[in-house]
């Protein structure tokens, strides 16, 4: 049933790790290695080069995302599936930006993970339905609004996110604080925010995951 797919699993909870490995073996998957922290996972993935690596997001030393990033920097051709309880858009957007092959919520039935492994091992991404719902309803609309910002407005958003006042931004950009305030008003309108003085500051705090796209 496993079609020659080799699997590596990393999770910092020993009981969850054992349970997942047992389930995989019941489906005749060849589990060639496990790890309980990110550093060990990275070392073993590089050494073993599994077909698919299943990674928990929150692990000691290195997160699942950091392991994926470092493996991609080393041109490891393993397919990565993130296993997590997190459904927040920040996690999902990060997975999207890293071009991760699979993203599964831990409380889904194992058969869904099996489908994900089979799909991913053939080079076809497979995501939990939650992933697509969050992208369609929360991430895509925000990214669409960000695209409306001019280069100058994007610069100002980045500086606002760093905690700069309009006066400080004006000094850095060699423009008047009045000009900065005008830009801020335009940005607030384009992002469809309420016209309150700290609206943009609040938005940057709530949408940190999108700042890399600005």
pLDDT tens digits, 171-182: 888 889 889 888
Domain ranges of the chain: 6-135, 148-213
CATH superfamily of 6-135: Response regulator (3.40.50.2300)
| For residue 1, pLDDT beyond 60 | no
| Residue 3, pLDDT above cutoff 70 | no
d(CA 191, CA 147): 10
Given CA atoms 134, 137, 138, 140 in this order, what sign does their dihedral have? positive
Q: Is 36 helix (H, G, I), strand (E, B) or coil?
A: coil
pLDDT at 140: 67
- CATH topology (fold) of 148-213: Arc Repressor Mutant, subunit A (1.10.10)
- Whole-number average pLDDT of the chain: 84
Local structure of residue 213 (DSSP, 8 states): G
- pLDDT above 90 for 184: no
């Amino acid at each position: 049933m496993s079609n020659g797919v080799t699997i590596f699993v990393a999770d910092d909870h020993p009981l969850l790790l054992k349970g997942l490995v047992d389930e995989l073996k019941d489906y005749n998957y060849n589990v060639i290695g496990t790890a309980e922290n990110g550093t060990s996972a990275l070392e073993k993935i590089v050494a073993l080069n599994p077909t698919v690596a299943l990674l928990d997001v929150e692990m000691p030393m290195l997160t699942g995302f950091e392991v994926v990033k470092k493996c991609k920097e080393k041109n490891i051709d393993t397919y990565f599936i993130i296993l997590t309880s997190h459904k927040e858009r920040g996690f999902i957007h990060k997975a999207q930006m890293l071009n991760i092959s699979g993203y599964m919520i831990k409380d889904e039935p194992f058969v869904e993970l099996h489908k994900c492994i089979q799909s991913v091992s053939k080079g076809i991404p497979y995501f939990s339905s939650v992933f697509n719902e969050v992208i369609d309803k929360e991430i895509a609309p925000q990214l669409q609004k960000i695209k409306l910002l001019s280069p100058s407005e994007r610069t100002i958003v980045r500086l606002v996110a760093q905690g700069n006042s309009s006066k400080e931004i004006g000094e850095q950009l060699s423009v008047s604080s009045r000009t900065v305030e005008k830009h801020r008003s335009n940005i607030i309108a384009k992002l469809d925010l309420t016209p309150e003085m700290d609206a943009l500051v609040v938005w940057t705090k709530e949408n940190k995951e999108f700042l890399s796209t600005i």
